[in-house]
Chain A
Amino acid sequence: MSVPRLQFEGISKVFPAVRALSDVSFSVGAGEIHGLLGENGAGKSTLLRILSGIYRPTAGSVLIDGKPVALNNPVAARAAGVAMIHQELQQVPQLSVAQNMFLGHPLTRGGIFVARREQERRAAEALAALDPTIDPAVPLGSLKVAQRQIVEIARALLDRARIVAMDEPTSSLTPSEFERLAEVISALARDGVAVVYVSHKLDEVFGICQRATIMRDGVVVGSVDLAQVSEKSVVSMMVGRELAQEQHRSHASSEVRLSVHGLASATKVREVSFDLHRGEVLGIAGLVGSGRTELLRLLAGADRASSGRVEIDGKATKLSSPRDAIAAGIGLVPEERKREGIVPLRSISSNMALASMGVFAPRGVIDHARLKRIAAEKMKRVNLRPFLLDRPIRLFSGGNQQKAIIGRWLAAGTRILLFDEPTRGIDVGAKAEIYHLIEELAAEGHSVVVVSSELPEVIRLADRVLVMRDGTVAAELDRADLSEQAIAAHAIPQSETQGRQGHRAGA
């Protein structure tokens, strides 16, 4: 390999008041899948924005095939052969797959009419190599997230991209969907495309990337050959210190706090029964779509159950609204923080107080002094950083937003905490803090349910694990029997394993 396909040379980016990137240099060869690692705020997103023409660097240059390119705007970046696949997919769900793939530069007849058929034919060609089951004529919104990712990649193929940058492409994919995506990415690389792959999930990066560049605080800490380093050493490069490996300790008592009998919803949850003890951390594993999130929403009163009953401390409890659930001491820390967790424009204090306004306004008027005092106490407890209680929550990192939501339930006196993917989109350092917090809460006697797609997370936290499949509990695993293999064996429905084998045989 003579000239690298993509080269960053001394890139710096200065915003008013912040230096986001400082002298960033590394290169990615044609056909290479290159991981880009770092905590939130390390500068990965800024670098990708420079690559895709959204920001212009303050200093330094980007070279493609050895030639400096001016990536002054997204159109220029696209013309230079850069395709960007965003974390939050930038697509129009109402339009068809093909329309999305030609968004912004449709094929036309005579420059006036959209050549819909031709678009669909070309889209099908591009998709054929990746996932022939996707019909280019259906509305994009009807596809699963994993398939929508593939549509984005197919779009990059259509554009004849020489460089594909992917920002957290797998944050909502199941393990099998990830495997499929990994195959697609490898195929891209075999065609000579340089792939820049940003992810928080180290195992994935180690699984599909050959080399990785690690960033911290806007500078490159190092570029490593992944075959020669351990995950642990990469993590310490990312956070700049060693993260202590914690031993699991159970605080579960025999006292049953929550007892669920035959709980079912109209759609996704069928006949779920389990007990949750005081001080216990109960993991719920299973594939996306197995009914885990829906189960938590039933318990949080966000959706209504169609049948079944719930007892708290032995007393039958009605959970027909979030207010009921909160009154019964249940709080949900939802998966999609931006959509279901935070009120972005409001301060940390307001977001924290939202679930317990009655406490702060005993006579109808909010006691702001008290609110401030309790907010300070709870946010200290969850270690909010920076410690600015009046700042709008949207300006905080995902990890700190998550801490504020946990603080919300602490302020509301919640005794049963439901976590849905507690560390999604949260960087390694904050992740460890959230784990620690969950364990402390359990030690204090809170009961915790953790739904997670990350098996190491479940294994790290849970005293006991329920594996869900097709809306019901397929297996219950004690701590002693916990392993990724055991969970996976129960989580995957028979039809899926057969389907996948069939697919492999056909390919």
Chain B
Amino acid sequence: MTDVAEHSAARPRAEFLHRFSLRDAGTLIGLIVILAVFGALVPGFFAERNLINILQQSSINACLALGMTLVIISGGIDLSVGPTAALSAVISASMLVAGVPFPLAIAAGFAIGLVCGLLNGMLVAYVGLQPFIVTLGTLSTYRALALIYTGGNPVLGLPAGFRAIFNGSLFGLPLAVIIVAVVALIAWIILKKTPFGEYLLAVGGNEEAAHIAGVPIARTKIAAYMISGLLAALAAQILIGRLGAAEPILGNLWELDAIAAAAIGGASLMGGKGSVVGTILGAVILGTMRNGLTLMNVQSFYQLLATGLIILAAMLIDRVTRGRG
């Protein structure tokens, strides 16, 4: 940039750099490196179709991971996202099959997600149980409810009209990707621009100090779990729209991918730290790995290995760079 431009551009650029943190830049570099490696190894990897594929394959995990990020920032964890999604999916699906109008069935699915999150949040915030244990318990509970409700059978034959809602595309992008992008934007605004975002960071960063400063601790935590539940329900709708059926075992181990995306993106499981941009990049990194390795015909065992190593590498880099500060 020239000297003349420098003068006027310096401020917004500094602003931008300030917003786009060093940690997010690191995650972005990681993604670029991974893309470059696959681009070199896999012919046609950079084809528009494949890149869109990656985004689509990442969208469900990104959706869950955004909710997970907020919960992790608040100092908690939500292991129950997969079963929450399953419960929401089978209820919406059975309503759809029974002929209930789409908006009502979808709203019911979202309501299930909110209620699941509310229960998690109340057990954590009011009863004071540890988030890991609470959501471990509800992980089994919600899964059991989904299985009991369906008798273990998938709900088949969702109306084509419903499927079209989530399978459409806009400006050449799958609707699912656009929905998750909008959710990410909202999450970013929440975290960066609202008191609730500041409260999340404060509650996770130092709960006692936040309490004395008048932060509504319980409300903040409960809201985080409810958002996580809602986003799990949204992910469920996207998935059953794509599949045309809802299985009660859907979403098995989703929580682990969501935590991984958040952690790769810089969220600290100690609470008080996390980034929406980072989490999205983390989800895309995981999606890219899967896509690229599949295209290379790598056995799934090795895909699992690669995912594990990426998570560990991200944490090691985190550790090393932080140790210097």
Contacts and interface: CB of A to CB of B under 8 A. Distances in A.
Interface of A: 16, 300, 302, 321-323, 325-326, 332, 334, 339-346, 350, 353-355, 357-358, 360-361, 364-366, 368, 390, 408, 412
A350 B214 contact: no
27 contacts: A302-B211, A321-B214, A322-B211, A322-B212, A322-B214, A339-B206, A339-B208, A342-B209, A343-B201, A343-B206, A343-B209, A344-B272, A345-B205, A346-B272, A350-B201, A353-B198, A354-B214, A354-B215, A355-B213, A357-B195, A361-B194, A365-B189, A365-B194, A366-B193, A366-B198, A368-B193, A408-B213
Given A344-B206, A358-B195, A364-B194, A300 B212 contact: yes
Contacts of B194: 361, 364-366
A325 B211 CA distance: 12
B249 interface: no
Contacts of A325: 214
Given A345-B205, A353-B198, A390-B18, A365 B213 contact: no
Interface in B157-183: none
B216 interface: yes
Given A340-B209, A366-B193, A354 B273 contact: no
A354 to B, nearest CB: 4
Contact of B212 (A334, A344, A350, A390): A334
A354 B202 CA distance: 8
Contacts of B210: 343, 354
Interface residues of B, number: 23
A340 B211 CA distance: 8
Interface in B306-321: none
A339 B199 contact: no
Contacts of A340: 206, 208-209, 212
A412 B213 CA distance: 10
Contacts of A339: 206, 208-209
B213 A354 contact: yes
Interface in B196-242: 198-199, 201-202, 205-206, 208-216
Contact of A302 (B18, B195, B199, B212): B212
Interface string B270-298: 00110000000000000000000000000
A334 B209 CA distance: 9
A118 B206 CA distance: 41
Contacts of B215: 354
Nearest to A334: B212
A48 to B, nearest CB: 21
Nearest to B270: A345
Nearest to A300: B212
A334 B202 CA distance: 16
Among B18, B198, B211, B324, max chain A CB count under 10 A is at: B198
A468 B137 CA distance: 47
A362 to B, nearest CB: 10
Contact of B205 (A323, A343, A360): A343
Considering residues A16, A360, A361, A390, which has the most beta carbons from chain B within 10 angstroms of its beta carbon? A361
A339 B210 CA distance: 10
Nearest to A368: B193
Contacts of B213: 322, 354-355, 408
Contacts of A366: 193-195, 198
Most buried by A among B18, B199, B213, B272: B213
Contacts of B324: 16
A346 B206 CA distance: 10
In order of increasing CB-CB distance, the 4 nearest A-B pairs are A357-B195, A343-B205, A354-B213, A322-B214
Contact of A350 (B189, B198, B208, B273): B198
A161 B193 CA distance: 55
B207 to A, nearest CB: 9
Contacts of B206: 339-340, 342-344
Nearest to A326: B214
Contacts of A360: 195
Contacts of A302: 211-212
Nearest to A395: B325
Contacts of B273: 345
Contact of A357 (B18, B199, B205): B199
A472 B155 CA distance: 68
Contacts of A342: 206, 209
Nearest to B216: A323
B310 to A, nearest CB: 25
Contacts of B198: 350, 353-354, 357, 366
A401 B165 CA distance: 53
A76 B41 CA distance: 51
A340 B215 CA distance: 12
Contacts of B18: 390
Given A357-B198, A364-B194, A346 B214 contact: no
Contact of B202 (A321, A322, A346, A365): A346
A334 B213 CA distance: 10
A401 B214 CA distance: 18
- With a 10 A CB-CB cut-off, give which of B206, B209, B210 has the most chain A CB atoms: B209
A31 B210 CA distance: 47
Contacts of A16: 324
A332 B212 contact: yes
A300 B213 CA distance: 9
Contacts of A323: 214, 216
A373 to B, nearest CB: 15
Given A340-B209, A343-B202, A350-B201, 12 more contacts: A16-B324, A322-B211, A322-B213, A332-B212, A339-B206, A340-B208, A340-B212, A341-B209, A343-B206, A353-B198, A354-B210, A365-B193
Contacts of B205: 343-346
Contacts of B199: 357
A222 B210 CA distance: 43
